[in-house]
C-alpha cells in the first residue's frame, strides 16, 4: 500500500473517530462550552504549513472544530494524530489530548506511553509525568493523555502563554514528534 493511500486512510479514520466521539458525547451529555457557550477563535484564510505545527493567518471569527485542533504526523511505522481537546470540551482539572495511533504492523493496544510524553509551554514549564489510557485494540487505537492544569501551584496556561506543545518520543521508530498549538487555542 502506498504512503499516500496510508495517509488518506489514516485521515479518514481520524475524522471518523473524532466524529464518533463527539456524536456519542453529544448524545449522552450536553457540555456547557460546546452547546451553550461555544468558544471562538480568530483564524486566517492564508495558512503557512510547518510540519507538526498548527498555524493560520486571516481574520474571520469562527467556532473551533475538532479538525482545527488535530495535528498529524505520518513518519515511521506508526501514524499519530493528536487533538488538544480543551477548547472544545473543557476539563476543569486537566489539559486533555486525544491521540490517534494507526499502523498495519503491530498491535497498538499494548503500547506503553510511560516516559514517552513531554508537555512544554512557552514559559518553559515541562511536565513528563502524565496520566494516559488507551482505548481499542489492534492496529488502530485512541489514547487519552491528561495533564493537571496546575503543577506545583503554577498554571500551565496563563494569559501570557504563547503556545503549548506535546512531544511524543520513541514511538514507531521516530525519535521525536512535536505537536504545537498556539495562543488562539489557549483562551
Partners of residue 99 on adjacent β-strands: 82, 143
**Chain mean position to CA 170:** 18
Distances from the Cα of 158 to the Cα of 85, 125, 182, angstroms? 17, 12, 13
Tally Cβ neighbours within 10 Å of residue 3: 9
pLDDT of residue 169: 95
What pLDDT score was predicted for residue 97?
Answer: 95
Residue 103: CB atoms within 10 Å: 19
pLDDT, residue 58, reads: 34
Residue 105 burial by Cβ neighbours in a 10 Å radius (0-12, 13-18, 19+): exposed
Series of mean pLDDT values for 10-residue runs along the chain (187 residues) = 72 69 46 31 32 38 77 92 92 94 83 90 93 85 94 92 96 94 88
Total of domains in the chain:
1
| Domain containing residue 171 | 3-185
pLDDT at 107: 76
Residue 44 to residue 84: CA distance in whole angstroms: 19
d(CA 78, CA 34): 31
In the three-class reduction of DSSP (H, G, I as helix; E, B as strand; rest coil), residue 118 is classed as strand
DSSP, collapsed to helix, strand or coil, labels residue 27 as helix
The values of phi and psi at residue 4, to 5°, are -65, -45
- Joined grid coordinates for residue 13: 479514520
Amino acid at each position: 500500500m502506498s504512503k499516500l493511500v496510508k495517509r488518506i486512510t489514516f485521515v479518514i479514520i481520524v475524522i471518523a473517530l473524532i466524529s464518533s466521539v463527539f456524536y456519542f458525547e453529544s448524545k449522552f451529555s450536553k457540555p456547557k462550552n460546546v452547546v451553550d457557550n461555544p468558544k471562538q477563535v480568530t483564524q486566517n484564510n492564508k495558512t503557512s504549513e510547518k510540519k507538526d505545527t498548527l498555524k493560520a493567518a486571516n481574520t474571520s471569527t469562527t467556532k473551533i472544530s475538532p479538525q482545527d485542533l488535530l495535528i498529524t504526523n505520518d513518519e515511521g511505522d506508526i501514524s499519530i494524530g493528536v487533538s488538544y481537546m480543551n477548547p472544545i470540551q473543557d476539563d476543569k482539572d486537566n489539559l486533555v489530548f486525544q491521540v490517534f495511533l494507526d499502523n498495519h504492523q503491530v498491535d497498538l493496544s499494548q503500547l506503553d506511553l510511560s516516559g514517552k510524553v513531554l508537555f512544554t509551554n512557552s514559559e518553559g514549564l515541562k511536565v513528563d509525568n502524565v496520566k494516559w489510557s488507551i482505548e481499542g485494540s489492534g492496529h488502530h487505537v485512541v489514547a487519552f493523555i491528561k495533564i493537571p492544569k496546575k503543577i506545583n501551584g503554577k498554571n500551565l496556561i496563563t494569559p501570557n502563554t504563547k503556545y503549548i506543545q506535546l512531544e511524543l518520543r520513541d514511538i514507531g521508530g521516530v525519535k521525536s514528534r512535536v505537536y504545537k498549538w498556539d495562543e488562539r487555542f489557549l483562551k
